[in-house]
Amino acid sequence: MKSQLVAENAGQRTFVVVLDPDIGGASLTALGAFEAATVGWFDFGQKTFRKIPVREQCEVLSAIGDVAIGDDGKPSLHIHAVLGLRDGTTRGGHLLEGIVRPTLEVTLVEAPGHLRRRKRPELGIALIDLDG
């Protein structure tokens, strides 16, 4: 897993995570902090994510996820995060976006086999397919 600089604006640098195309499956954990972030709660009735913006410095108390091969044949990330706020409350959900400040320490452990994530139209999301 690497990061790639995609933009720089007024000193703020934007990176995307680039996964090795040969990674067929992995688990990950992370901790650190964000300047701001967006997590999402999946609304099964609407088959879409409800975005939960966090527009303040927050601690990444826990982030866990996986890498699996998507329907497009490429590795895809799926991360859940719990973010701690200054007043002791938390926000959590699917990690949709995060502006790292000052650091995010990610541990990626490659799985011995391949995991396959397939779109489930009846649910509106892609899930790991144990038969795939």
- In this prediction, residue 128 carries a pLDDT of 92
CA 66 to chain centroid: 9
Strands (E), the chain: 2-9, 12-18, 25-43, 48-54, 58-69, 75-84, 90-110, 117-120, 125-128
Residue 111 lies in a domain: yes
Domain containing 53: what range?
Answer: 21-128
Is residue 11 assigned to a domain?
no
* Domains in the chain, number: 1
54/130: higher pLDDT: 54
Average pLDDT over residues 55-74: 94
Task: State residue 2's pLDDT score.
Answer: 61
- Examine the pLDDT at 103 and tell me if it is beyond 80: yes
Residue 75 lies in a domain: yes
Per-residue model confidence (pLDDT) at position 95: 96
For residue 6, is it within any domain? no
| More confident call, 10 vs 69 | 69
Please, which pLDDT band fits residue 92 given cuts at 50, 70 and 90?
very high
> What's residue 59's pLDDT?
98
What is the C-alpha to C-alpha distance for residues 24 and 97, in angstroms, rounded to an integer? 23
Backbone angles phi, psi at 113, to 5 degrees: -120, -170
Is 8 part of a structural domain of the chain?
A: no
Residue 85 banded pLDDT, cuts 50, 70, 90: very high
Residue 4: the pLDDT is 58
15, 6 contact by CB (below 8 A): yes
Q: Is the pLDDT of residue 20 over 90?
A: no
Average pLDDT, the chain: 88
* Domain presence at residue 10: no
Band of pLDDT at residue 1, cut at 50, 70 and 90: low
Do the domain assignments include residue 3?
no
CATH number at residue 81: 3.30.1330.80
Q: Is residue 16 part of a domain?
A: no
